[in-house]
Amino acid sequence: MENETLSPLAFCNKIFSMRIPLPFQIGQQIGQKTVFLFLALGMALSASAGELKVGTVNMMKLLSGFHEKKAAEAEEKVELASIDAAYRERVVAIKAVEEELGKKKNEFNDPSLAEKKRKEIAASHQELAATRSVLIKEGEEFLQRQRRSLNQKMVGMINDIRTKVETAVSDYAATLDVNLVFDESGLTSSRTPFLIYSRNTVDLTDAVLKKLNKDAPSPVTVETSSGAKTKGEAPK
């Protein structure tokens, strides 16, 4: 039987169509096709080294170093502080009601108090207690609603940022004629590195990060209400 000569990419596609029993347990985070890709890549590189150009990136480094991700995190901190300030105002209102409740309780316990006045104080105390319960419930609902809304917003922003990073990686890889790009910061479900060893690969991380941040706004110094100076991004 003659040996069939295949290009590395064609060899990968052929491997994908085969059912190969794996000697280890695959976690849910790693798809079967991804594992096949590892097997195919290793075989293809051994069979025809040099034809298949492989690149690596550190996605964690790209995401953490991307200026839009930093800006999103700064925006999240500002909005969290705003939510916290609004909630503290509600807490102040609740404490004011609780102080009134304490006063009413002391008045009610005055032995010299007339019965009619005692009943009036009891009714007032009951109304204040009901008001306190309403304020507490509204405060909790406000906090949950605001944090849920902010979380949804941040998830959308992070997804958009991740897409931009992935697109930047793909575009840069294409300029270098890289066929495959692996994330060296990825981990399997068993917390082991996704890419353990690779020879003659091209690391795209620093170059891609430089391209992502080429239009980053210049940092500006901002003075807080306490007089402290911090650096942030210039307004866009």
Instruction: Compute CA distances 183 → 83, 180, 195, whole Å.
Output: 36, 10, 7
Arithmetic mean of pLDDT, 85-99? 96
Q: With a threshold of 0.75, does the pTM exceed it?
A: no
Q: Where are the domains of the chain?
A: 19-65+179-233, 68-157
pLDDT digits (tens, 9 = 90+) for 3-47: 454 444 444 444 344 443 333 333 333 344 444 455 445 545 444
**Lowest-pLDDT range, 21-25, 46-50, 84-88?**
21-25
Cβ–Cβ under 8 Å, residues 70 and 54: no
pLDDT digits (tens, 9 = 90+) for 179-207: 999 898 887 777 777 777 777 889 999 99
Measured distance CA(137)–CA(97) in Å, rounded: 14
Burial tier of 54 (Cβ tally within 10 Å: 0-12, 13-18, 19+): buried
